[in-house]
Amino acid sequence: MLALEFPPLSHIVNWPGFVGEGEIWEINKVVVIYGFAVLFTLLLFWLGGRKKELVPTGAQNLAEIAVEFIEDGIVMDTMGKEGLKYTPYLMSLFFFIFFTNIFEVIPFFQMPASARIALPLLLALLSYVIYHGAGFKSHGLGYFKHALVPPGVPVFLLPLVMLIEFVSKFLVQPFSHTVRLFANLLAGHILLVTFAVLTSGLVVAKWYAIFAPLPLIGVIFFTAFEVFVSFLQAYVFTLLTGVYINAAQSHEH
Amino acid sequence: MLLAEISNKGLAALTYGLGAIGPGIGIGYLVGQAVQAMARQPEAAGMVRTTMFLGIAFVEALALIGFVVFFLAGA
């Protein structure tokens, strides 16, 4: 029979440290990926902004497309003109998440750093502070009324509605924001591991080896799909941050 | 008793399958409607697409929470 054994979850997301095993500053694969993601994000905009030419070429071209994409596709769509001051934050958020995600399909790394909950949680909490901060800045203490009391609610329903709004806006929102990024990338990672394990298990299994191309096609197809997912999840995370900021600071009701 | 023989892992997998039905229907309906809207009014496609992804993100959260619970319960 086939000697197939799926590795336990801890084996595919936990990595031994290169240096400082067990210390608080332990450097393992995930930390290296964070480093690369920061480096790539900085490099893209440093190269793009180094020479400001009227007719952009190379890296400047790429950086300008990126800025336009975030400005038109996310900021203007969700917040309009008053959201433009948040463009730098959303931009670095998008590219940092995208670069940490894309390591899922880069050979020798093949680990999305967002599949450890620490990073999504940190970014979601950072966004949490920023959008509620924007709300308090825009409304003062009236922000609680703005956030908890939707217009046109009958008075006798008010306590219930306020409770629901409080739980959803202050407790569930950062949680779902975190889990969305984390679980998507974890699921993708597990999917790729499943097909890779199946392929390698079939290759060494006598005549069953003729079926090995089938999961191999799966690996190739899902690798392409995961590139799309990495992009989409970075986009969705940034888009939702924009939507939350807009909901917190907008004055129309 | 049959239910007693099913392991915790099997039960977790089964429950996740049940939990995926709702978001599956939801996303299918959502994207179908969005495609219809884009076909009727191609000039509004950009706006519809942004809203569609937003809606997908909200619906998908339910399935993903189920996915996380699946690992917590199955471990």
Indicate whether A19 belongs to any domain.
Answer: no
- Who's near B14: CB < 8 A, 6+ residues apart? B6
State the residue for tokens 């189920």. Answer: B66
CB atoms closer than 10 angstroms to residue A57: 9
Indicate whether A12 belongs to any domain.
Answer: no
| A202 neighbors A209 (Cβ within 8 angstroms) | yes
Residue of A nearest to B60 (CA): A180
Of A9, A179, A239, nearest to B53 by CB-CB distance is A239
Indicate whether A15 belongs to any domain.
Answer: no
How many domains does chain A fold into? 1
Residue of A nearest to B68 (CA): A183
The number of C-alpha atoms within 13 Å of B51 and in the hemisphere containing its C-beta is: 11
Q: What's the Cα-to-Cα distance from A60 to each of A6, A40, A75, rounded to whole Å?
A: 45, 14, 21
Please indicate if any CB of chain B lies within 8 Å of the CB of A241.
no
Domain extent, residue A203, equals: 29-249
Largest CA distance in chain A: 73
Higher-pLDDT residue of A171 and A24 is A171
- Who's near A85: CB < 8 A, 6+ residues apart? none
| A101 neighbors A42 (Cβ within 8 angstroms) | no
Distance CA A144, CA A38 (A): 36
pLDDT digits (tens, 9 = 90+) for B21-63: 999 999 999 999 999 999 999 998 888 988 898 888 888 888 8
φ, ψ at A27 (rounded to 5°): -105, 110
Distance CA A131, CA B39 (A): 35
ipTM of the complex: 0.77
pLDDT band at A130 (very low <50, low <70, confident <90, very high): very high
Indicate whether A2 belongs to any domain.
Answer: no
| pLDDT mean over A233-248 | 92
pLDDT band at A250 (very low <50, low <70, confident <90, very high): confident
Residue of A nearest to B66 (CA): A183
Indicate whether A64 belongs to any domain.
Answer: yes
Indicate whether A5 belongs to any domain.
Answer: no
Residue A174's SS3 state is: helix
φ, ψ at B44 (rounded to 5°): -95, 10
Indicate whether A122 belongs to any domain.
Answer: yes
Please indicate if any CB of chain A lies within 8 Å of the CB of B71.
yes
Tell me the nearest-neighbour CA distance from A71 into chain B, angstroms. 13
**Is the pLDDT at A39 greater than 90, yes or no?**
yes
Please indicate if any CB of chain B lies within 8 Å of the CB of A236.
yes
Please indicate if any CB of chain B lies within 8 Å of the CB of A191.
no
**Is the pLDDT at A164 greater than 70, yes or no?**
yes
Residue A251's SS3 state is: coil
Answer whether B50 sits within 8 Å of A179, measured CB to CB: no
| A34 neighbors A109 (Cβ within 8 angstroms) | no
Please indicate if any CB of chain A lies within 8 Å of the CB of B72.
no
Tell me the nearest-neighbour CA distance from A179 into chain B, angstroms. 7
Distance CA B60, CA B22 (A): 10
Distance CA A120, CA A183 (A): 10
CB atoms closer than 10 angstroms to residue A50: 11
Please indicate if any CB of chain B lies within 8 Å of the CB of A214.
no
Residues of A in contact with B60 (CB under 8 A): 180, 184
Please indicate if any CB of chain B lies within 8 Å of the CB of A239.
yes
Residues of B in contact with A176 (CB under 8 A): 61, 65
Q: Which two tokens stand for residue B73?
A: 């319960």
Tell me the nearest-neighbour CA distance from B4 into chain A, angstroms. 24
Indicate whether A136 belongs to any domain.
Answer: yes
